[in-house]
Amino acid sequence: MLQTIYSAFERLLVAEGDWRRVRIELHEPEPEEQSTAVLAIADYKKDLGLAE
């Protein structure tokens, strides 16, 4: 039964070894300089004529 569970996990690519086996590399996303919320608020202000 345990072997069945492990084989199901391999098909789901749960472990890092599984990612390497199928040559998938995951990277952390690059940090954004400004969040989308800040940009959206700036756009709203500009549309309302309140931009500095």
Over residues 41-51, the pLDDT tens digits come to 989 999 998 86
Helix-strand-coil percent breakdown of the chain, rounded to 5? 60, 0, 40
pLDDT above 80 for 32: no
The H helix count followed by the E strand count for the chain is 3, 0
First to last CA, the chain: 66
Q: What pLDDT sits at residue 36?
A: 83
The residue-averaged pLDDT of 11-24 equals 76
Domain count, the chain: 1
Task: For the chain, give the percent of residues with pLDDT over 70.
Answer: 94
Give residue 34's identity as a one-letter amino acid code.
Q
Domain that holds residue 31: 2-48
CA distance 13 to 8: 9
Q: Is the pTM of this model over 0.75?
A: no
The residue-averaged pLDDT of 34-45 equals 86
Give residue 49's identity as a one-letter amino acid code.
G
Q: Which residue has the higher pLDDT, 45 or 12?
A: 45
